[in-house]
Chains A and B, each alone.
Chain A
Amino acid sequence: MSEEVIKTEGLTKIFNKHLTAVDHINFSVKQGEIFGFLGPNGAGKTTTINMLITILKPTEGKASVLGFDIAKQDDSVRNVIGLVPQEYTADEDLTGLENLLLCADLYGISRNVAKERAADLLKLVELTDFKDKRVQTYSGGMRRRLELACGLINRPKVLFLDEPTLGLDVQTRTATWEYIRRLKKEFGMTLFMTTHYLEEADALCDRVAIIDHGKIVVVGSPEELKRSLGGDLITLAIKENKDVSELIQKVEHVKEVRKEDGAYRIKAELGEIAAPFIIEALRKKGYTVTRLSLTEPTLNEVYLEHTGKSMRDAEESREANFSRRVTMRRARGG
């Protein structure tokens, strides 16, 4: 089997002849990694996933999953992938187990095999005790885990997760990441996920592609991306009303100084070492440092660097909005 599990070449989707949702993107996902698409709502993440899972046909370009062309061999693709959608698709009126068996039926898995697998998966996501309860009574985290189990019923080689923790509170989100890691370890799958949560991409993904307005702006591991920014960020203010940019620039490890709103934003390779030197250098010249903060770069800074703006929520269609609201409401167990 090829190293590259997913590969796209100039993949493009244009809706209604003028709305370019995904614009000639090229990337590849390696066997066994968790690859994340990070971007704001409306950046083209879900459209990309929908093309890869053969729900949408690309307007231009091509893509393959495990060597199968998504447009020409769509049936073969569907057999080897699993999907954990953004929405809660489990039927509220059915029990957890019934939902899993329904998923199994969609893959044509025989009842006996399905029951065995369902029991294993329920155990894995710790829903065994709730398997005969209606999904209506589940909390957001439980619903999410059930969706995970559903996505795995056909033992997929590639699992697609669309915003896997949308609307969940921080604790449930962290717990869900743990389940995702565990499932990946158990089944040795390749994971492709989308998210607009920076921490999620950082915590979960081996590699991240930042996507904005349908284009990939940068790809790399979260570490690489953060390191490429050139180190840590020091923010500093002095009492005196004078420009000391040049003075700071001369300090060792300092790479870049910018003066913004009376404060200095300093990029330094090793922030924790550079900071004392900067204070020292300023004091020697008689300046008083009134405030200093040191931040390690997050993916937000990476995002900012490459798109020139902070993650923003773009205008969404009525439909997307509705399904998002429903998802959020259910996530809160409402």
Chain B
Amino acid sequence: MKRAKRKNIIILGIIGVLISLLWIYPFYLVFINSIKTKGEIFRNTLNWPEDLTLENYPKAFTELDFVQSFSNSVFITVISILVLVFCSSMAAYALSRNKSKLSSVIYFSLAISMLIPFQSIMIPLISIFGKVDMLNRTGLIIMYLGLGSAMAIFLYYGALRGISTSLDEAAIIDGANRFQIFRYIIFPMLKPTTVTVIVLNAIWFWNDYLLPSLVINKEGMYTIPLKTFYFFGEYSKQWHLALAALIIAIIPIIIVYMFLQKYIIKGISDGATK
């Protein structure tokens, strides 16, 4: 019995390894072709390069304007996340501690608003922001706040329901004001939710293409997805450069993932079980 079980585990383990290899095979293929010459990609797509070259990388790196687009992406993502976490956690706190008719109406409309697809507000959104001259980074960050806050408030609100109000009351007796209570007692207790909110939205903001392409479509402001898209359009027949660009665009994500994967996966699964 024990022996049979061991054998099963080994067989399953081998299956797991095979599937994993299949799973990363696309990345592998892109990588090995990114270190081939233009001609070799056409002759020999599947095998390890015959004459290995690293020349594609510096070219792709400069053409991608990597330093610029990377810092643009970091800027947009970090600021949007900070604003989102700050506003939505406070809003959820206010909602959860004011038990009125209005707060349940707000809560219900938040749930409904998560069903709205972006396409159905895209046109008016762009025309409104265009009219007040806000088709720039500030505008983009405000849009992310508006679009992301429904789910963030929803998650925070769920977590806050589990935190007893007797804590607030004790702190008020000790002479703390509302903001201090939130800052020093409540917010630290919301840490797991904050991780979820950061992870879900960071993946979205970092990779978003459509909204930035409509709002900050200007030279010098391109984020990595935007720049990759234009690069690809320009060099679509030059796979050697395009593939090197793809690898460069992926590397920051892989590095972050290696260091933070525990939090990322926990954030995702916490988000789903609530």
Partners in one complex: no
B interface residues (Cβ-Cβ under 8 A, vs A): none
